A and B are shown apart, each in its own frame.
Chain A
Amino acid sequence: MEKFTSLTATACPLPLAGIDTDQLVPARFLKRTRAEGYGPVLLHDLRQNQGFPLDDPIYAQSRILVARRNFGGGSSREGAVYALVDYGISCVIAPSFGDIFAANAVGNGLLPAVVQEADAEAILAILQAGTVTLTVNLSLTRISSSKGSWRFSIDAEWRERLLNGWDDVDLTRSRQDEIDVFVKHYRSDSGWAWIEGSKQDHLF
């Protein structure tokens, strides 16, 4: 996974609350493979409305989105994150995120930056007044522009993962011995929890 340290880029304001994952990628597009890419279907149905901000030419190079509360709630579809990432978005700034969406985002190198509601409004206001560039510094957990700067928060472990570009699977595999010890104990202690079948012993 690519490391995320600091990003200076065009930021597009989406002054909407509750942009759920059904909006980020409608269900009918979820048959797409990763190789086909999800970028073209990002926010597909909302973009049918005239004047949707993302389609304004000044936001054509956006890598940052700024929205209102509860961004990415709803369905666990990781396609919502693929759509953002494939479109070129590396950071979403909002007062709150759906928990599953945020976990999916971090796993794909997309930063969900949580700001105070008043700060989200302030950032939306400067963007709508003509500012187009924001800097998001993950080491400092700060967002800045020519018009001001704001703190954002992110879970400490997620921050580490993004800064280092860590991969969960590699991390887990490095602890395989501990998993095996756990399983042996767990099976004797909670036998009723098991479904019979054999472990794939050619693994790892």
Chain B
Amino acid sequence: MSADLPRTMFEKIWRKHEILQRPDGRSMLWIDRHYLHEGSFLAFAQLTARQARVAYPNLSIAVADHYAPTRAGAEDAEAAGMMARLAEDTAAHGIRFSGWHDQDQGIVHVIGPERGLTLPGLIVVCGDSHTSTHGALGAIGFGIGASEVAHVLMTQTLWQKRPHLMRVTVQGRLGPGVGAKDLALSVVAHLGADGGRGFAIEYAGEAVRALSMEGRLTLCNLTIECGARCGMVAPDETTFAYLRGRPDAPTDFDAACTDWATLPSDAGAVFDREVTLDASAIAPAVTWGTSPEDALPISGHVPDPASITDPVRAAHAREAADYMGLRPGQALESIGVDRIFIGSCTNSRIEDLRAAAAVLTGRRAVVPGLVSAGSVQVRRQAEQEGLAKIFIDAGLHWGQSGCSMCVGMNGDLVSPGERCASTTNRNFRGRQGPGARTHLMSPAMAAAAALTGHLTDVRTLMAGRI
């Protein structure tokens, strides 16, 4: 292979981590960071069954997030048991662990970047599909199953087939009141829920470069919702400024920056697929159905299955509208909501909370809602900035940090038939609880829905506030 051939960022990182390659094309990759949460108990059980030890305990980092209670004292015995089990498993193997009482606790995909554990040029894995989040820093991050978690624990490596590469270029600038979540939902709707299957996606273009680190984390987080395991953004000054001074960032930070500056894709690097979007055409987005690909601009209407020619897609539209309790052709803005949720690994960082607070300040919500900061650090910062008071004054519950109502494993559930405006990542049937109806949107849009009680274009509430 010639060193002069232009290479993609993905290729540079992949090659650097390739321990060996088999004739069938599978590579054995070195894993730099392995994040663990309560679901890892199945993997630790595999180690026990093999009487195996963890190869590099220093490269695995564990945190309680999926079962962490957002209301103090509200944890049930089973959830507490799941967290205790992770504490025991990690202690037995010498792995760093943060429990839900600890100051560095938070959602695994929030604390990895926040502590400076996730860095450009690394390969990051976790037994959670939203590990794609970490690609926002210019890393390769992807989710794995429990058996692969066990493999990483035992060997610090993984066998992987190199995915195809797609570049999604977003030209121009996002309009006022339009953010990373709207962009991400628009990308998923454009590609489809399996349109990125078999690909790693690099996001590029002016609108992506202009995103803050929080925005990039949101964009890469939702990459899995189009079926791509990995999304990434080239590291730049935004990345370096975000990481500088983080507790686990490299001691010789400037030397690391010099290395990281070589990571972006070379001019002329070839991608297997190129997709281009116009940022100025993107509006605040919401989902109407039961797949993240069911995203539309807020000015849109529930699709009419009769106007969809593909019978499989028409059947999906019919079944999804039926589950969601919606009529074909219904205006999205006419859909009333019962509650809102602001949080999850998608949208619980400080910028997300600021965006929601900007809409809510001095106003009262007409439906109940829960706001769960992504980490203890984010929660503290939001309290210092006065954001927590804005949420509380608006009538919303200000909760502890964890995965919470995104997946309901900690008991934060949407009731059967209830409709929730949610900043999370999946509107699957029953995701927020059996029979729950989820509409995905940005923190600003969820705040707008809280104020009006129905899906609302946040821009109409933002005069003088943007």
Contact = CB atoms under 8 A, between A and B. Distances in A.
Interface string A166-194: 00110111010011001100100011110
A96 interface: yes
A22 B426 contact: yes
B161 A157 contact: yes
Contacts of A98: 194, 197, 227
Contacts of B242: none
A68 interface: yes
Interface stretch (B17-25, B169-177, B363-371, B453-461): B17-25
Nearest to A18: B291
Contact of A45 (B16, B224, B434): B434
A178 B105 CA distance: 36
Contacts of B248: 195
B19 A178 contact: yes
Contact of B147 (A74, A107, A117, A171): A107
Given A26-B430, A76-B143, A107-B145, A192 B252 contact: yes
Contact of A17 (B45, B78, B255, B316): B316
B392 interface: no
A23 interface: yes
Given A73-B194, A175-B20, A193-B32, A200 B55 contact: yes
A99 B227 contact: yes
Interface string B155-166: 111010100000
Interface residues of A, number: 64
A70 interface: yes
B184 to A, nearest CB: 16
Contacts of A99: 197-198, 227, 229
Interface in B327-380: none
B312 A190 contact: no
Interface string A39-76: 00000011000000000000000000000111001111
Given A22-B429, A183-B30, A198-B58, A190 B121 contact: yes
B128 A178 contact: no
Interface stretch (A3-11, A28-36, A125-133, A135-143): A28-36
With most chain B CB atoms within 10 A of its CB, the pick from A27, A30, A193 is: A193
Contacts of A156: 24-25
15 contacts: A18-B193, A23-B429, A23-B430, A28-B409, A30-B39, A78-B145, A78-B146, A99-B227, A169-B155, A172-B157, A179-B30, A191-B250, A192-B259, A195-B248, A196-B58
Interface of A: 15-18, 20, 22-23, 26-28, 30-31, 33-34, 45-46, 68-70, 73-79, 81, 96-100, 103-104, 107-108, 117, 155-157, 160, 168-169, 171-173, 175, 178-179, 182-183, 186, 190-193, 195-200, 202-203
In the A-B complex, list the 6 residue pairs whose CB atoms are closest, starting with the nearest: A197-B58, A104-B145, A192-B250, A78-B145, A192-B256, A78-B146
Given A31-B78, A193-B32, 19 more contacts: A17-B313, A18-B290, A18-B316, A20-B426, A22-B430, A27-B431, A28-B408, A70-B197, A73-B227, A74-B224, A79-B42, A104-B145, A104-B146, A108-B147, A169-B154, A171-B159, A195-B59, A198-B58, A200-B57
